[in-house]
Structure 1
C-alpha cells in the first residue's frame, strides 16, 4: 500500500512486483485515492491501477472492483470489459487490459455535456449489461442504485439519457 503522496514511479514499481514484465509509459490520472498508469505487459497494452490510500472504505471498494473483474472472467458479460491480467488487493494493485477507444471525460461528473453519440453508446452498454446474468453471488450490492437514479433524475442530471433524437 502506498501513501497518498506517492509518485507514479512508486506505483509503477509496485506494479512491477506483481508483473515483472510491466513497462509503464504514461501517467493517466493521479488522485488522492489512486494512480492510473498506461503501459504494456508482454507487449500488450495494459492499465495499472494502484490504490494510494489506506482508508478502509476505499480498500473495500478496491476489493469489490477486483472481485468484479474476476466475476467478468468467470461469466463474460454482453459488453466488452477489460480482462484482468493480475491483482494484489493487499498491495492495492490491479493490472487490466487496456481497451481501445477514447476517454469520455477525465472527471467523474463532467463539467460540460458529453457528445451525443458517446452518451448513446454508454446507455446501450448499460442496457446490455442490465440483461446480463452474472454467476450467483458474483456481486454484492454496495449501493441502492434505484434510489440514486431517482435522486439524479430529480436533479435533472439524466434528462439527456431519457430522450433520443
Structure 2
C-alpha cells in the first residue's frame, strides 16, 4: 500500500475505475416516437432524481451541477397511506406521537430491517422519524441495537450544546428509552444507496465529502463521547476467528505499541457514502451512533474500503493519511485492517450470491494490499 518513502505504492491502485455520473447540459430534444405519457413519466422521474428501472443510485437531473440547484421540498408529495398502515410502522408511529403529538407522517422511507424511517412534518417543518423496529427489539442482539440507538440520541443531544463544524440534521425530539429520534429532514440525495457503491460519485462530490470528514476530524468536542473501539480486543477477536494470522497479529500489535501515546481523533465512526446526504449547501453527515475517539484516520479507512474501484479517490485518501508522517500513516493502516476485517465478516456468509462473492473477492484483494503495507511499515521501524 505504502512504500517506505512518502509516495503511494502502485499496489494501492485498484485495477479499474468505476463509472462516474455523467455531467453536462441536456441535449436537444429528439422525437423518439414513444407515447407521450411514457415520456412525461420519464421526465418526472428525472426531476425527482430517480433512475428508470429502480437503479441503485439516484443520478442528478441532466445539466445539474454537483451540490447545486433547488431540490423539491422534502415534505411535499402524496401521503403514502398503504405503507403507513403496516403494523410495524403503526407501532413505530405510536411511539413518535407520544413524544411529538404534532408529527404528521407522510412517507415510509424504510419499513424493514432494524430501523423504521418515516418522513413527515411538524407544523411546516420537514422531519424524519427514526425508530428501532419491533422485530429488532426481539433480535438476539437487541441490547446492542438499543444501546447503539441511545448512543446516537446522546450524540445529537451533545451536538445541540457543542455544534460540530460540519453539517448535520438538527435534533427535533428524542426518547432514548423507547428508541425514538425525530430529526430535521435535509433536502438532498444520498451520496450512495449502497454500502459498496457500484457507481462512484463524481470527483467533486468525493472532494466535498473528504473535506467534511477532514474538518470533523480536526474538531475536538469538550465532552460527551467515548472510545467505541478497543483495538487490542478487536485484533485478538479477528485472530481467534481466523481472519488474522499470527504474523498479522504480531505486526498490528507492534504498530499499536508505537501508537500508544498518539492522541485520538474525533471521528464519525461510520463514514460510508450511504451516510452522507448531498445537499445544495454541501455534504450532510447522518447516523452518528458510532461517533467518538479513534486512532487517527479511522474515517479515511472506512471511505477507502468502500471506494474499491475509484482509483483517484483512493489515491487522494492515501495521500491524506500519510501526509502528516509515518506515525499517522501507521494509525491509518491499523484502522484499515480492522475495517476490512469487519467488512469481510459482514459479507462473507454462506448465503452470499454471485454479486456478493465478487465483493468478497475484492475485499480479500484489498486485505492482501493492506497486509503488505503493514509489513512494510513494520520493516521501517
Q: Same fold (TM over 0.5)?
A: yes
1:80-95 matches, within 5 Å, as: 80-95=167-182
1:28-47 matches, within 5 Å, as: 28-47=109-128
The question of whether the paired residues in 1 share the 8 Å contact of 2:173 and 2:181 is answered with: yes
Q: Partner residue of 2:161? A: 74
Pair 1:163-2:249 in alignment: no
Partner-residue secondary structure (3-state), 2:117: strand
Pair 1:108-2:261 in alignment: no
1:135-146 matches, within 5 Å, as: 135-136=222-223, 138-143=224-229, 145-146=294-295
1:44-59 matches, within 5 Å, as: 44-52=125-133, 53-54=136-137, 55-59=142-146
Q: Partner residue of 1:98? A: 185
Pair 1:40–1:112, CA change in 2 (3 A): same
Q: Partner residue of 2:108? A: 27
> Which structure's residues are more often helix, by fraction?
2
Q: Mind listing any 5+ residue stretches in structure 1 that lack a counterpart?
A: none
Q: Partner residue of 1:60? A: 147
The whole-number CA distance in structure 2 between the counterparts of 1:66 and 1:82 is: 12
- Of residues 78, 91, 95, the one that matches 1:10 is 91
The question of whether the paired residues in 1 share the 8 Å contact of 2:304 and 2:314 is answered with: no
The question of whether the paired residues in 1 share the 8 Å contact of 2:196 and 2:307 is answered with: no
The whole-number CA distance in structure 2 between the counterparts of 1:121 and 1:88 is: 33
Pair 1:105–1:31, CA change in 2 (3 A): farther
CA RMSD of aligned residues (A): 2.7
The whole-number CA distance in structure 2 between the counterparts of 1:44 and 1:151 is: 33
Q: Which has the larger radius of gyration?
A: 2
Q: TM-score normalized by structure 1? A: 0.82
Q: What's the offset of the Cα at 1:142? A: 1.4
Aligned residues: 159
The question of whether the paired residues in 2 share the 8 Å contact of 1:48 and 1:96 is answered with: yes
